[in-house]
């Protein structure tokens, strides 16, 4: 019984449809992998029903495998979840509402952390831009001390960017 549902789901849904339905952004066929800490897109979303593969954590598979891994479900539960979420009408079973609510809550928390990180990163980018756009005062100017302090701050910001972009 489930073998037929599995094949029907795999032929009915594209990987792009599934990941976008669950709130992930795919650009040029790749996205951030939700299964490990990722700062650069490493998960390839293949066209049609060909599935997905992450080149960092080496996870991959079909749309059912993705949903099973994403929601910590077995294959049967993932198939039921996809059937219900996409209203395919292949099964009469319903997903566990508590699991759905838990996942939604976790995703909102992760998104809030990511939004805060992006806001901090953007603010530091603007600050560095403003410091770099300042004119250098002559050394005898009363503004020289303030300028020197800002150059120290710029060193800190440069180190922050280096760490964020090379050590994640």
pTM for the structure as a whole: 0.58
Return d(Cα 150, Cα 129) in angstroms, integer. Answer: 12
Q: Where are the domains of the chain?
A: 2-95, 114-166
User: Across the chain, what does the average pLDDT equal?
Assistant: 86
For 33-59, what is each residue's pLDDT tens digit?
998 877 789 999 998 878 999 999 999
Res 1: pLDDT: 46
Per-residue model confidence (pLDDT) at position 117: 85
- Model confidence band, residue 93 (pLDDT cutoffs 50, 70, 90): low
CATH topology assigned to domain 2-95: DNA Primase; Chain A (3.90.580)
Whether 95 has a pLDDT exceeding 90, the answer reads no
Residue range 108-119, pLDDT digits in tens = 888 888 888 888
User: Own/partner pairs for 12-15, CB < 8 Å, 24+ apart?
Assistant: 12/86, 12/88, 13/49, 13/63, 13/82, 13/86, 13/88, 14/47, 14/48, 14/49, 14/63, 15/45, 15/46, 15/47, 15/48, 15/49, 15/50, 15/51, 15/52, 15/63, 15/66
pLDDT confidence of residue 167: 60
Token couple for 37:
């800490």
């Amino acid at each position: 019984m489930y073998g037929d549902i599995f094949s029907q789901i795999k032929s009915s849904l594209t990987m792009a449809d599934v990941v976008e339905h669950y709130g992930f952004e795919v650009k040029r066929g790749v996205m951030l992998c939700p299964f490990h800490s990722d700062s650069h897109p490493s998960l390839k979303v293949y066209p049609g029903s060909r599935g997905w593969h992450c080149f960092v954590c080496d996870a991959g598979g079909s749309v059912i495998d993705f949903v099973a891994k994403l929601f910590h479900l077995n294959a049967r539960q993932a198939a039921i979840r996809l059937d219900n979420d996409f209203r395919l009408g292949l099964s009469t079973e319903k997903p566990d509402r508590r699991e759905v609510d838990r996942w939604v809550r976790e995703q909102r928390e992760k998104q809030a952390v990511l939004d805060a990180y992006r806001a901090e990163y953007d603010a530091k980018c603007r600050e560095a831009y403003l410091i770099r756009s300042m004119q250098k005062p002559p050394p005898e100017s009363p503004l020289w001390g303030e300028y020197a302090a800002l150059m120290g701050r710029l060193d800190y910001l440069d180190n922050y960017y280096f760490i964020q972009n090379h050590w994640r």
